[in-house]
Amino acid sequence: MKFSSKSSLLKVKFSSLELLVSLLFSGFLLLPLISAEDCNRICGDRNVPYPFGFSEGCLIRLDCQKNEGESIAFSGQPVVNFTGESLILRFPVNCSRPFKEWNRFYGKFYALTGRNGLLLHNCSSQTTSFIEGPLVGERLNVSCGRENIRFFSDDSYGFMRKNLLSNLSCEYLVTSVAAEQAALSLDFQTMELGWWLNDSCSACSSNAHCSNITSPFDRNPAIRCSCNEGFVGDGFQVGDGCRK
């Protein structure tokens, strides 16, 4: 009759643990994204594209405001449009909005893009990313202290860098201006959030294009899926895919 010693049992356990760790870091053990079935993407008669949705299981959470005619919002701001790379928000002038509220537009799967320009008020810090003087307030018809309005922009990496915003000393975040991608024009009182997922191109459906980017959240590889020309949908296998 044979008995297994404690040391041999420990070796087996540690071998299993080492194998699991090895698989995790080698990429053979793939942890799937949250299933679309875990995410409610319907608000009234509107269906939003994956990875957006209205329940806790959604990667990018939205608000379905049924008391306001079933409008859709993100962090309290009305959603204007969804694209294959961004979420467009309405961001009205508010002369008393605390500057620190910029932080709610940064998360694991989204961030302010470099196409935004932020109008700030009562800033004591100095940076080359500022356009100063009353001209900015006059041109954009902002009435809250035009003499101390600053226009902040940063497009070094396609996204507005969070560390630069963290180092600014301003009192108010008045509004945002977003540059349109396909036209040489600016959308006043509009904000653009870029989004991404930490996944591989295998997450994209057939008839979809996969874009590889670097996540500004953790600098890891990330992707976006979008349907090829002539197809409609969100481009994701677990979403609506792409169809004619």
Q: Judge residue 211's burial from the number of C-beta atoms within 10 Å of its C-beta, 0-12 exposed, 13-18 middle, 19 or more buried.
A: middle
**Interatomic CA distance for residues 125 and 123, integer angstroms:** 6
Quick one: which of 105, 109, 104 has its CA closest to 59?
A: 109
Its pTM stands at 0.80
Beta bridge partners, 120, equal: 150, 173
Query: How many alpha carbons fall within 13 Å on the CB side of residue 194?
Result: 23
pLDDT 10s digits, 54-70: 999 999 999 998 776 66
* Residue 185 pLDDT exceeds 50: yes
Contacts of 74 (CB under 8 A, 6+ apart): 60, 62, 63, 87, 89, 193
**Interatomic CA distance for residues 218 and 212, integer angstroms:** 15
The least confident of 49-58, 140-149, 188-197 is: 140-149
- How large is the average pLDDT for residues 135-155? 74
Categorise residue 233: left if φ over 0, alpha if ψ from -120 to 50, beta otherwise.
left
Beta bridge partners, 110, equal: 107, 195
Task: Report residue 89 CA to chain centroid gap.
Answer: 12
CB atoms within 10 A of CB 162: 17
**Interatomic CA distance for residues 140 and 161, integer angstroms:** 24
Q: Give the pair of three-digit tokens for residue 154.
A: 């940063």
pLDDT 10s digits, 7-51: 444 444 444 444 433 433 444 434 445 455 689 999 988 999 999
* Residue 243 pLDDT exceeds 60: yes
- How large is the average pLDDT for residues 121-144? 69
The kind and range of the H/E element at 14 are helix 6-26
pLDDT of residue 179: 87
